[in-house]
Amino acid sequence: MIKTKIAGVGYYVPEQVITNQDLEQQMDTSNEWIVKRSGIEERRWVRDGICTSDLAFEASKKAMKAAKVSSEDIDLVIVGTITSDYFFPGVSAQLQDRLNLHHIGAFDVKAACSAFIYALSIGDQFIRTGVCSTILIVGAEVQSKFLNISTEGRDMTVLFGDGSGAAILQKSDDESGILSTHLHCQGANIKDLWMEAPGSAENCQMTNIKLEEGRHFPLMNGREVFRNAIVRFPEVIQESLDASGLTLDDVNLIIPHQANLRISQAVAKRLGVGMDKVFSNIHKYGNTTAASIPIALCEAVEEKKISKGDVVVLASFGAGFTWASAAIRW
Ligand code: COA
């Protein structure tokens, strides 16, 4: 059976570090509250003038270099993001232009924290069916420009960061590759983690009323997100193992979406695995939504936590609610 391999990965984060102490200056919060609730110590936020396509571009160049592919080789681009530079079109179109790619297909996936696994799963289908030979997938976000940076928005603002990660997908020529992917959604919960405006639900225009009510800021029902996440993560990880005929003992590393250290710890406990098997870099970057899994994957590779032949499971949970997993033999 044809398998899809990850031929190269790359990530890029903006250089500006925002510590919890920096946030203490901007809202009524504390380093202690943030670390205790989330494990986050700092995050990266872009400086003025930098947007999501800039981050996506940098991560893409690194992934292409790692995979030793050039612009001519790529025949599809998929970008996961909820923070595109413009309301439309998507970041994928900007990336197609900036990377000087052929007039290939390019589209965005708006599956929030699950978008990178959604993109991986879509790319996997195109490779296995032989329709494409080299696909660029990206997760990139600039969330800092959308947050309510005040005491009113503190529950969300302290959790989120900016960043990007990318991967090149190609046909595998050995036993390595994606073993299975699993995508889920429970739309009944959309209002538990969402940004209402601008949107077509009412008049699309950003009226003063909408702005005054803060409907252009992301909102979250943190407890409901937490409650669902700690159930869905283990469930979808197990689903990927069952589909591949594997057990947790076969898994070398689980890379969960970096939502919150407490969520990862609860997931590890439910699965009965130690935190040494669960990758975490949330203390450095916070939650970077679609970018979090590819950044974590890159760092796990850099830190030599993944070796040839290892089984790696990626898992996500986020707005939608969406959740997803991918089992990969490295
Ligand atoms: N700093 C200080 N205090 C804060 C705060 C902040 N940044 N944010 C909220 N608070 C306050 C609240 O106002 C509340 O105060 P009150 O008791 O006076 O009303 C208090 O802290 C407790 O808030 P609560 O919401 O009950 O805290 P919690 O223990 O549920 O933790 C989260 C809040 C957001 C950290 C937690 O619900 C969580 O981790 N949820 C999942 C979030 C997530 O991962 N989202 C992304 C998924 S992709």
Residues 186 and 160 in one domain: no
The more confidently predicted of residues 212 and 144 is 144
- Atom 15 of ligand 1: nearest residue by CA position: 155
Specify whether the CB–CB gap between 322 and 316 falls below 8 A. Answer: yes
- Atom 33 of ligand 1: nearest residue by CA position: 222
- Atom 25 of ligand 1: nearest residue by CA position: 222
Contacts of 152 (CB under 8 A, 6+ apart): 214
Number of domains, the chain: 2
Residue 306 belongs to domain spanning: 178-329
| Sign of the dihedral through C-alpha 24, 47, 17, 91 | positive
Dihedrals φ, ψ of 103, to 5°? -80, 60
- CA count, 13 A, side-chain hemisphere, 155: 10
Helix (H, G, I), strand (E, B) or coil at 120: helix
Rounded Cα–Cα distance for residues 101 and 132 (Å)? 14
Rounded Cα–Cα distance for residues 329 and 172 (Å)? 11
Supply the pLDDT for residue 67: 98
Residues 67 and 158 in one domain: yes
Specify whether the CB–CB gap between 109 and 122 falls below 8 A. Answer: yes
Residues 46 and 66 in one domain: yes
The more confidently predicted of residues 216 and 160 is 160
Residues 163 and 187 in one domain: no
The tens digit of pLDDT for each residue in 253-296 reads: 999 999 999 999 999 999 999 999 999 999 999 999 999 999 99
CATH number at residue 302: 3.40.47.10
For residues 56-68, give the mean pLDDT: 98
Residues 156 and 195 in one domain: no
Supply the pLDDT for residue 316: 98
Residues 87 and 165 in one domain: yes
Percentage of the residues of the chain whose pLDDT score is greater than 90: 93
Supply the pLDDT for residue 3: 97
Interval between CA 267 and ligand 1 midpoint (Å):
19
- Does residue 19 register a pLDDT over 90? yes
- What H or E segment, with its residue span, contains residue 227? helix 222-244
Interval between CA 36 and ligand 1 midpoint (Å):
10
The tens digit of pLDDT for each residue in 85-114 reads: 999 999 999 999 999 999 999 999 999 999
Q: Is residue 95 classed exposed, middle or buried when 0-12, 13-18 and 19+ CB atoms within 10 A define those classes?
A: buried
Supply the pLDDT for residue 214: 80
pLDDT band at 306 (very low <50, low <70, confident <90, very high): very high
Residues 136 and 215 in one domain: no
The tens digit of pLDDT for each residue in 237-249 reads: 999 999 999 999 9
Contacts of 106 (CB under 8 A, 6+ apart): 76, 77, 78, 79, 90, 92, 93, 95, 96
The tens digit of pLDDT for each residue in 26-43 reads: 999 999 999 999 999 999
Supply the pLDDT for residue 198: 87
Supply the pLDDT for residue 204: 66
Supply the pLDDT for residue 200: 86
Q: At which of 157, 174, 191 does a domain end? A: 174
Supply the pLDDT for residue 295: 98
Ligand 1 probe mutation, 23, 155, 227, most atoms within 8 A of CB = 155
Rounded Cα–Cα distance for residues 223 and 219 (Å)? 12
Q: At which of 174, 209, 237 does a domain end? A: 174
Residues 170 and 182 in one domain: no
Q: At which of 174, 191, 207 does a domain end? A: 174
Interval between CA 203 and ligand 1 midpoint (Å):
32
Interval between CA 91 and ligand 1 midpoint (Å):
31
Where does residue 68 fall: left (phi above 0), alpha (psi -120 to 50 degrees), or beta otherwise?
left
Q: Which residues line ligand 1 (CB under 6 A)?
A: 29, 33, 37-38, 113, 154-155, 158-159, 220, 222-223, 225-226, 259-260, 263, 287, 318
Residues 267 and 215 in one domain: yes
- Does residue 216 register a pLDDT over 90? no
- Atom 31 of ligand 1: nearest residue by CA position: 37
Helix (H, G, I), strand (E, B) or coil at 263: helix
Q: What pTM value is reported for the model?
A: 0.96
Residues 91 and 203 in one domain: no
Residues 184 and 102 in one domain: no
- CA count, 13 A, side-chain hemisphere, 140: 34
Residues 10 and 154 in one domain: yes
Q: What is the pLDDT of the chain when averaged over all its residues?
A: 96
Cite the active site residues: 113, 257, 287
